[in-house]
């Protein structure tokens, strides 16, 4: 695909995904996410040609003008749409498929100083909400959606929706997933929930071992014993008769 065809393809994808786009002139002049993608094609070509420093300088210039930080080594597919652009970070070994949508503040980052593939792979038609963080060498399957503000640390199967910190699946293949096991949440509070559930189970087992009695039987027996004791004491205690 030549340069003009790719530009035309990218602009058409903006009209398909952004109802605020009104004209070609507006898209070409007012969408820094597109500028960042187009400049990345240049920096990525320099990177592959081993002009690494020059490639980084070009990417830094794009970062200054667009607010998008895309490492020259990242591999971007066709029709990537970065809406609002500001604050998006795409790491060196990230791979992005076709027709992917990223909103502002998205980070495709690593989790440490390891070498090799250390950034996410986004398959075709993935949608990532604003300020979401996708970290490590993970794969987001086709047609999946990542909720705004989520932190994704593990693979996401195709046709899924994930939300939360860390993210967990709430929809798969169009059906809502009900979480019944706290182990599936993978939340910092999940350990506390698991411990609480185990304690409740233990208390229920202890209650089941206690012999069943009629309601208030024990209380009634205690009251009767108290009355009997008072009756016995009246034989030895003067209540002030004859004063």
Other residues' Cβ atoms within 10 Å of the Cβ of residue 214: 7
Amino acid 115: pLDDT: 83
What number is the average pLDDT over the span 49-58? 95
Q: What sign does the CA torsion over 8, 13, 14, 20 have?
A: positive
**β-bridge partners, 70:** 90
pTM: 0.73
- Model confidence pLDDT, tens digit, residues 128-171: 999 999 999 999 999 999 999 999 999 999 999 999 888 888 88
* CA distance linking residue 79 with residue 90, whole number of Å: 16
Is the model more confident about 221 or about 121?
121
Amino acid 182: pLDDT: 57
| Residues with Cβ within 8 Å of residue 107, at least 6 apart in sequence | 88, 89, 132, 133, 134, 135
On the question of pLDDT at 18 being above 70, the answer is yes
On the question of pLDDT at 242 being above 60, the answer is no
Is the model more confident about 61 or about 213?
61
What number is the average pLDDT over the span 202-221? 72
Amino acid 108: pLDDT: 95
Least confident interval from 50-54, 99-103, 188-192, 198-202? 188-192
Structure tokens at 3: 């340069």
Structure tokens at 35: 């500028």
Task: Let me know: does 79 contact 13? Beta carbons within 8 Å.
Answer: yes
Q: Which of 72, 75, 85 is nearest to 31 (CA)?
A: 85
**Strand arrangement, sheet containing 101-102:** 81-82, 101-102, 127-128, 145-146, 160-163, 168-172, 175-176
């Amino acid at each position: 695909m030549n340069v003009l065809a790719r530009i035309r393809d990218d602009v058409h994808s903006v009209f398909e995904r952004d109802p605020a786009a009104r004209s070609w002139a507006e898209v070409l002049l007012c969408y820094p996410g597109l500028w960042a993608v187009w400049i990345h094609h240049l920096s990525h070509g320099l990177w592959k040609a081993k002009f690494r420093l020059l490639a980084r300088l070009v990417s830094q210039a794009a970062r200054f003008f667009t607010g998008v930080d895309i490492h020259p080594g990242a591999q971007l597919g066709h029709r990537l749409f970065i809406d609002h652009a500001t604050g998006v970070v795409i790491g060196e070994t990230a791979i992005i498929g076709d027709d992917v949508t990223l909103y502002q503040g998205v980070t495709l980052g690593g989790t440490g100083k390891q070498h090799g593939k250390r950034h996410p792979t986004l398959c075709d038609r993935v949608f990532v909400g604003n300020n979401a963080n996708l970290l490590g060498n993970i794969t987001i399957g086709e047609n999946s959606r990542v909720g705004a503000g989520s932190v994704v640390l593990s693979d996401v199967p195709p046709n899924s929706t994930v939300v939360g910190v860390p993210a967990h699946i709430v929809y798969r293949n169009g059906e809502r997933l009900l979480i019944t096991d706290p182990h599936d949440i993978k939340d910092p509070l999940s350990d506390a929930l698991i411990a609480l559930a185990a304690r409740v189970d233990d208390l229920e087992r202890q209650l089941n071992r206690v012999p069943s009695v009629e309601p208030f039987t024990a209380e009634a027996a205690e009251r009767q014993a108290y009355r009997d004791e008072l009756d016995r004491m009246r034989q030895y205690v003067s209540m002030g008769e004859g004063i």
